[in-house]
Structure 1
Amino acid sequence: MARPRIVVVGAGFAGVACVRRLERTLKPGEAEILLVTPSSYQLYLPLLPQVASGVLTPQSVAVSLRRSRRHRTRIVPGGAVGVDTRAKVCVIRKITGELVDQPYDHLVLAPGSVTRTFDIPGLAEHGRGMKTLAEAAHLRDHVIAQLDLADAAAPGSAERASRLGFVVVGGGYAGTETAASLERLTMNAVGRYPRLDRREISWHLVDVAPKLMPELGDRLGRAALDVLRRRGIEVSLGTSVAKAGPEDVTLTDGRVLPCRTLIWTAGVAASPLVATLGAETAKSGRLVVTADLRVPGAEGAFALGDAAAVPDLATGGDGTVCPPTAQHAMRQGKVAADNIVATLRGTPLRRYVHKDLGLVVDLGGRDGVSRPLGIDLRGMPAQAVARGYHWAALRTGAAKTRVMTNWLLNAVAGDDFVRTGFQTNKPPTLRDFEHTDQYLTPEEVRARTAADQVDRSGGRDRPQQ
């Protein structure tokens, strides 16, 4: 008999944790494991702001998927763009652009999330995200390029003002860390530009919420706000962007800010892949799942991580769902793997329960705010906890060595503020980096799998890989 086929979609924290657990738990030959991902690495997303600011190199946060000695998983280089749960087929767009149909017996949906956007004039053309490695590397190049161009512009000119104006939208962890890290980059770099005055550089952090990082509580939220304002970052709460242009940004309170760098980190939404299933979704488009991570009505399908609304049983199970954080995603990956193994072996499934261990925020330099195990920390102790947590969470020794070496080198030697010039002639957009226009509609998925079944019944098998 053919071995059961397990298809895991996504190589984020949830997907990789699931695959590693499956490789360690399943006996050789017990099942076939496929991992669908465009890149053969796991991106350590929380450290992207440090890549953008030059503290870490891009390679140091791209953890290879091919270092495991237990490696039995076949990596399919592409992204899942549709799922037919009735036919039990996952449609994959390979990195070549070719569409292939991949049958499965068990499916783990961990495609993660994409940047949440709104219908704001100019946002699609001028907004920049902080969700992928390419975005972080390109953003660093772009910020340094603005300093170069501002240095060449006439003092007091509108061009210089717009090039030295930076706006970050989103007062969550990603936005706050991005604003803090990149502000340090520009202030450290301005010493290399004798024609620029650091007082010409303006940073704005904008968020529609009334508080900064409310999940941290009022005390730590105010502490982070104080750090940003002390550095000269203007924080505007209770407002957002009304319109984005090539040289300025208009806020909902009427202010017009000179700006050629609009960084959009105003939350995330579940991957567009979720919409192709036709299943029930909850807030931000996340799939509704049971406590054991199964998708109701979809035989053999599990969903987890940012793409799933997993009941948070640790808080009492009153309808709350687990927040989309790395610590939950990694643990959900392990539970999903255990439940797939239990399904194969006919043993009971287990529910996902995990009490949140706390949150850490690295603001760069000697600044940070953290709440490990409910203990409020700020300053150097908070930053030490944040970096220690991230370092320990890195999956391989090579990644840990690279990150620690980068931290030490940056602390001792600083940054040369060199830009690579990648994609200089192509204006980047959120859609270009996150490929949100690559997904099929539910109707296209059903039509494709129906045609495949007709081909099979006629004796003409369509290639699956």
Structure 2
Amino acid sequence: MSRSRIVIVGAGFAGYQAARRLSRKFRGAAEIVLVNPNDYFLYLPMLPEVSAGVLEPRRVSVSLAGTLRGVRLVLGEVDGVDLASRKITYVDPEGNGGELRYDRLVLTVGSVNKLLPIPGVAEYAHGFRGMPEALYLRDHITRQIAMATSEEDPAESDARCTFVVVGAGYTGTEVAAHGKLFTDSLAKQHRKAGNGLRGDSLPRWMLLDIAPRVLPELDERLSKTAHRVLTKRGVEVRTGMSVKEATNEGVLLDDGEFVRTRSLIWCVGVRPDPLVEEMGLPTEKGRLCVDKYLQVPGYPEVFSCGDAAAVPDLTRPGEYTPMTGQHAVRQGKTVADNVAASYGYGQRRPYKHNDLGFTVDLGGVQAAANPLGVPLSGPLANAVTRAYHLAALPGNRVRVAADWLLDALLPRQAAQLGLVRSWSVPLESSSPELAHSPRRYQGPEGRRTDSRNAGGNSAQG
């Protein structure tokens, strides 16, 4: 076989696993190129712990060059796919355009924040899909508590101590659970310093969702566990409720109540990367249609999986696999096997996987989990959750465990660095993994792209 080029777009769960498996299968017989805006794989499930000061950013940022031997990394954001010419175009971190030809293409571009047509949300809310957003939220929370303690106006102090999370799925539930512990810790530190909140009150957290219960996609027993932990901790859980309008003073709820706040955290869900629809191929709710072998019909050299692909769920005929990390990891391995099979290395196989259970980290020693369908809660569920994350992490395991130990023994650090500004993490973005700069330009395909290195505007681990 002559040396061919396999291009993988995106280094999320699916892309990372595909690149690692292909490098081991080919061992230099093919050129494997991974195109990604950053030089790290982000372990998203533990991002709420970064925003709450439990983990340092580098702990959940696994070096691509350091863990993917034999894989060529190209830093850039892909903004076009020419299927006829078999090439992709991209823009690098400094705004320069480039292109790559491919013999096989694996699209694992992932997802971005899901938007709803609610007035003011795009202007005043912040999402939670990338490292810049987590670092911004960490600084923002720290800053709001500090400013509230010195605020003379009681109403303004209360507004700064009120945090509204919209979306009670995995991310929103974990953000609210960890966030409440974080702000309570910060308030306690300020109180010991002689500058506590008005009346020694605790910060207020609200978790909203239009669904009838938190974690609506999971077993009801896990939902009840999470609800119980949140309410006992002091989080106001309001189901069947959402935001009607957002302003710079606060949010108007569906029932007419106006909540003064400076913090609206948007965790409603995700949608496939806009690049998918720009390709002009058949899609299912924005996800690129593929067959059971993860190939794009009509283009046998193009494969796709993860959040960006509508993968048939063979365990539930007529449905598609959900957009979860568990499926993305296994699809990444399957797509690597099928790409190798297209060169005569083994046999291709259809993607089929039954869920092995879920874990939800609720902060402290609390969690909810159902490994292999067995419902667990409390410290035991927490131990299972952390063991699962350590096993799933492709690197940094010792450092993560050390941070967990330090968090159990020492108070949270309250210092804010102020490197990520609110304008650099807009909710409406096709690149939540990048911090944006004020100066933007139209890329080669008309896609909005940073005009200089985004790393200059953010602390990206």
Q: Same fold (TM over 0.5)?
A: yes
2:272 matches 1:275: no
Residues 216, 371 of structure 1: 8 Å contact kept: no
Residues 276, 440 of structure 1: 8 Å contact kept: no
Residue identity in the other structure for 1:326: G
Aligned twin of 2:73: 75
Residues 277, 442 of structure 1: 8 Å contact kept: no
Within 2, Cα distance between the matches of 1:15 and 1:248?
39
Cα distance, 1:414 vs. partner? 2.3
Cα distance, 1:394 vs. partner? 0.7
* Structure 1 residues 58 and 198: CA distance shift in structure 2, 3 A: farther
Aligned twin of 1:22: 22
2:391 matches 1:406: no
Aligned twin of 1:301: 302
Aligned twin of 1:356: 355
Residues 110, 308 of structure 2: 8 Å contact kept: yes
Within 2, Cα distance between the matches of 1:63 and 1:264?
26
Mapping for residues 59-458 of structure 1, pairs under 5 Å: 59-68=58-67, 71-154=69-152, 156=154, 158-194=155-191, 195-196=196-197, 197=199, 199=201, 201-283=203-285, 285-315=286-316, 318-345=317-344, 348-396=347-395, 399-424=396-421, 426=423, 428-431=425-428, 434=432
Residue identity in the other structure for 2:263: T
Secondary structure of 2:350's counterpart equals coil
Residues 231, 237 of structure 2: 8 Å contact kept: yes
Cα distance, 1:184 vs. partner? 0.5
Residue identity in the other structure for 2:176: A
Within 1, Cα distance between the matches of 2:423 and 2:310?
36
Cα distance, 1:23 vs. partner? 0.6
Within 1, Cα distance between the matches of 2:444 and 2:415?
45
Within 2, Cα distance between the matches of 1:439 and 1:90?
19
* Structure 1 residues 129 and 189: CA distance shift in structure 2, 3 A: same
Residues 187, 203 of structure 2: 8 Å contact kept: no
Residue identity in the other structure for 2:70: R
Residue identity in the other structure for 1:370: A
Secondary structure of 1:403's counterpart equals helix
Residues 425, 435 of structure 2: 8 Å contact kept: no
Superimposed CA distance per residue, residues 1-56 of structure 1 (whole angstroms, 9 cap, x where no aligned partner): 9622111001111001001111100142x211110011111000000000000000
Secondary structure of 1:215's counterpart equals coil
Secondary structure of 2:296's counterpart equals coil
Residues 275, 442 of structure 1: 8 Å contact kept: no
Residues 82, 439 of structure 1: 8 Å contact kept: no
Mapping for residues 47-62 of structure 1, pairs under 5 Å: 47-62=46-61
Residue identity in the other structure for 1:404: A
Secondary structure of 1:188's counterpart equals helix
Within 1, Cα distance between the matches of 2:58 and 2:172?
22
* Structure 1 residues 442 and 311: CA distance shift in structure 2, 3 A: farther
* Structure 1 residues 182 and 281: CA distance shift in structure 2, 3 A: same
Cα distance, 1:199 vs. partner? 2.9
Within 2, Cα distance between the matches of 1:112 and 1:391?
22
Within 1, Cα distance between the matches of 2:50 and 2:85?
42
Q: Which runs of 4+ in 1 moved over 4 A?
A: 424-427, 435-445
Residue identity in the other structure for 2:350: R
Larger deviation: 80-89 or 405-414?
80-89
Within 2, Cα distance between the matches of 1:358 and 1:222?
16
Q: How many residue pairs get matched?
A: 437
* Structure 1 residues 442 and 74: CA distance shift in structure 2, 3 A: closer
Secondary structure of 1:184's counterpart equals helix
Q: Which runs of 5+ in 2 are unaligned?
A: 448-461
If the length of structure 2 is used for normalisation, what is the TM-score?
Answer: 0.90
If the length of structure 1 is used for normalisation, what is the TM-score?
Answer: 0.90
Within 2, Cα distance between the matches of 1:248 and 1:444?
34
Secondary structure of 1:24's counterpart equals helix
Secondary structure of 1:76's counterpart equals strand
Secondary structure of 1:292's counterpart equals coil
Superimposed CA distance per residue, residues 230-253 of structure 1 (whole angstroms, 9 cap, x where no aligned partner): 111111111211111112111122
Aligned twin of 1:458: none
Cα distance, 1:427 vs. partner? 6.3
